[in-house]
Amino acid sequence: DQQVKQNSPSLSVQEGRISILNCDYTNSMFDYFLWYKKYPAEGPTFLISISSIKDKNEDGRFTVFLNKSAKHLSLHIVPSQPGDSAVYFCAASAPGNPNFGNEKLTFGTGTRLTIIP
């Protein structure tokens, strides 16, 4: 049962335009969401996160939007640059021990973003 879904395996966007990557989840207990970026032959690197108490979080060119009622989040990259070409993973976490947090993330299957110069 895939609790975190990224339904688009790939996406191509012109350089300078907006890239929008989507992610859906089914577990209503998830309260923290993250995006990771992965280049070939490297480990995933953390990009941006959002808590369920917010509906938007922005960091430079990257903005994550959360729609709790639709159980949907999206990552916007504006403007897109060639270095943004990578695989992007969405991940989610449910609350755990109130003192220690939750130790586990559930990952989606990833979307390969290609920026066309």
Among 44, 63, 75, 86, binds other proteins (CB under 8 A): 44
Total residues contacting other proteins by CB under 8 A comes to 29
Count H helices and E strands in the chain, helices first.
0, 11
Q: Is residue 89 part of the contact set for other proteins (CB under 8 A)?
A: yes
CB of 92 to other proteins, least distance (A): 10
Contact present, 28 and 94 (Cβ < 8 Å): no
Cis peptide before 79 (omega within 30 of 0): yes
Window 1 to 20, contacts with other proteins (CB under 8 A): 4, 9
End-to-end Cα separation, the chain, in angstroms: 38
Which tokens go with 26? 């089914």
Q: What are phi and psi of 84, to 5 degrees?
A: -80, -10
CB of 100 to other proteins, least distance (A): 5
Among 26, 55, 58, 96, binds other proteins (CB under 8 A): 96
Q: Is residue 60 part of the contact set for other proteins (CB under 8 A)?
A: no
Q: Is residue 105 part of the contact set for other proteins (CB under 8 A)?
A: yes
Residues in the site for other proteins, rule: CB under 8 A? Answer: 4, 9, 32, 34, 36, 41-46, 49, 51, 89, 93, 95-96, 98-105, 107-110
